[in-house]
Amino acid sequence: MKTKLSILFIVVASLFVQAQNSEVCTENLSFMGELVKAKNPEAYDYLTILRKDCPSFNKAIYSYGEIAIKMKIDKATTPAEKEKYARDLMKFYDEHDLNFPNNGAGNKMKKGLILFDYKIATDKEIYDALDDAFKTDYANFKFAKAMYVYFEIIVKDYKAKKGIELQQVFDKYDDLSQKLVEEEDELTTEKDALLSKEEAGQALADKEVKRKEKIENSLEIFAGVKNDMDNIILELSTCDKLIPFYKNAFEANKGNEEWLKRAANRLEAKGCDTDPLFSKISEALYKINPSAEAAEKLGVVEYQRKNISKAMDYFNQAADLYKDNTKKANVYFKMAVIYSKSNKVQSRNYARKTLAVKPSYGKAYLLIAQLYGGSVNDCGKDQFEKRAIYWLAANYCDKAAAADSSIKASASKTAAQYRASAPTKTEIFQSGRAGQRIAFDCWVGESVVVPSL
């Protein structure tokens, strides 16, 4: 009986202590949170207590704590002090992963950026840290800046002849480009859902409006990094360099699907797809696996051979096989551009198919605008109606700007040019058609409302 009472006392006492500890942890976390919100570096003092006594109490310790340590770094007055807190932040990231595994915060990647941002490591140390993060925590390697730094270092080492081969640079570029595409796809899929909601006439909630703005900002950052990476590698991947490089390696890699795929992608991206080597690589790729990508490449080959019908067959096959909406949209848009030179109806059909699978594909709206803008002499009963089509073209430019922020400036500029070519206010007044709807009974089959005065 005494033994049972003793055990009960210990259990009760333990629960009492835990309750007290929980209360203290809650209080200290609350104090730290308030100081972080007030941008007060004294938040670090409470973080120190929480790291010692409550490391696994609440994940908020790590979201607030990261900011608290960064405030100490920013307030540091000497390089030594700055490095001290920077390395403390790296240690803090390890503590986060230890106490909350699989937290999705990308802490390994962040550690590599800390080394870079605060200049407390060599390029090799920074590269190794980012390389480890990319290989062991790929899903959470999400920062565009980390991708750019990671790539920039390997390019610098190649140029400095530090044992890096050109193929390694290409491989890293391909790996990071794929990661950029994945992150962009994730964001555009979310944005497409919001755009579809707007297209259906539903107003976005305030939270959705803010989220859309954040997505657009992130997409612009990713596009900027992709452009910078392209510029860095441009000098290394001209046709004069690529063709002999891949010719020499073809025999050894003609059975390597991944090598063939990447070689074909690079040759096409750099405009080297008219060379017989591109056909050779594409045919070898299709022979190994008649996949969507292989079919798309053979479509390009047939287009270069001016076999348009056969090219379209391959492109349609590729579009049907692709499961990824972005890749499917890219093929449809490629077909729309090809048809724009000979068949406006088919061109618009494929532009619409592009938008059906990817509502944020602003370039498809721009293409439709160009098709309409080029049809001024095909539609309308008189000069007023003929030039009225410019308003319709401008409207599609507006849609392009709304769908894709990366082309907003050029789309808005083009819209202004179309509106400047449409009937003037004086002409509208003289026609007496302000506010009326004009239907285009030609191939366009749409209508536009004359602006009110």
Share the mean pLDDT of the chain: 92
Evaluate whether residue 357 is within a structural domain: yes
> Token digits for 319?
């579009």
Residue 439 lies in a domain: yes
List Cβ neighbours of 195 (8 Å cut-off, separation of 6 or more): 359, 360, 402, 403
Using a pLDDT cut of 70, give the percent of the chain over it. Answer: 96
If one counts every other C-beta atom within 10 angstroms of the C-beta of residue 265, the result is 16
- Least Cα distance to 108 among 69, 139, 141 occurs for 141
- Spatial distance between the Cα atoms of 357 and 326, rounded to a whole number of angstroms: 8
Residue 449 inside a domain? The answer is yes
pTM of the model: 0.72
Number of domains in the chain: 2
Question: Residue 109 in contact with residue 86, Cβ under 8 Å?
Answer: no
The residue ranking higher by pLDDT, 15 or 293, is 293
Task: Look up the domain containing 424 and give its range.
Answer: 340-453
In the prediction, which pLDDT does 4 show?
52
Cβ neighbors of 170 (< 8 A, separation 6 or more) are 233, 236, 237, 262, 266
Is pLDDT at 232 greater than 90 in this prediction? no
280 assigned to some structural domain: no
- Whether 76 has a pLDDT exceeding 80, the answer reads yes
> Is 404 a member of any domain?
yes
Categorize the per-residue pLDDT at 1 as very low, low, confident or very high, splitting at 50, 70 and 90: low
**End-of-domain residue from the set 49, 79, 105:** 105
Instruction: Note the pLDDT of residue 11.
Output: 40
* pLDDT tens track for 154-195: 999 999 999 999 889 999 998 999 999 899 999 999 999 999
Distance between CA atoms of residues 141 and 135, nearest Å: 9
Q: For residue range 250-274, list pLDDT tens digits in order.
A: 999 999 999 999 999 889 988 899 9
Mean pLDDT (whole number) for 205-219? 93
Residue 227 in domain: no
Q: Of 76-85, 198-207, 323-332, where does mean pLDDT reach its minimum? A: 198-207
Q: Residue 125 domain-assigned? A: no
Q: Is the pLDDT assigned to residue 354 strictly greater than 80?
A: yes
Query: What tokens were used for 262?
Result: 């990447």
pLDDT tens readout for residues 411-421: 999 999 999 99
Average pLDDT over residues 82-87: 96
Domain boundary among the residues 61, 79, 105 is at 105
Kindly tell me if the per-residue pLDDT of 16 is higher than 80: no
Which of 57, 78, 105 is the endpoint of a domain?
Answer: 105
Is residue 410 included in any domain, yes or no? yes
Band (310; pLDDT cuts 50, 70, 90): very high
Give the residue-averaged pLDDT of 25-32.
95
Give me the pLDDT at residue 15, please.
Answer: 40
Long-range contacts of 221-229 (CB under 8 A, 24+ apart): 221/144, 222/144, 222/180, 222/183, 222/184, 222/187, 223/184, 223/406, 224/144, 225/144, 225/145, 225/147, 225/148, 225/180, 226/177, 226/180, 228/148, 229/147, 229/148, 229/151, 229/173, 229/176, 229/177
